[in-house]
Amino acid sequence: MASSGPAADAARTEVRAIVDDKGHAVDNARRAVARLDEAFAAGDLVRTPALDAMLGDLIVALEQDDGQKLGGKSAEAARFILRAVSRELDNA
């Protein structure tokens, strides 16, 4: 069952705004993950199995070794996954 209430609505709105930001996709993805983690910890949103899988994939796309810059493939993967996360938020 999807979360409801002002805190859930605010979390969804904020995550979608981050997803739609014009900044670099990798930076936006990190911000979105951080905001979602806050919402989950506060109980504002619930982790759905689909959302959990998407976030797992996103974390893998964002992994980097010390000093390594993430390139275009990571950015494209982040954009793709963030669009799916945005759609799934209504179920969280």
In the chain, where the domains are located: 6-91
User: For 34-85, how does the pLDDT look when each residue is reduced to its tens digit (9 = 90+)?
Assistant: 999 999 999 999 999 999 999 988 888 777 655 555 556 777 888 888 899 9
What are the percentages of helix, strand and coil residues in the chain, rounded to 5? 75, 0, 25
Single out the residue of 61, 7, 6 nearest to residue 35, CA to CA. 7
Cα torsion for 22, 26, 31, 33, to the nearest 10°?
A: 130
pTM beyond 0.85: no
pLDDT at 59: 84
Q: What is the pLDDT of residue 71?
A: 57
Q: What is the pLDDT of residue 60?
A: 81
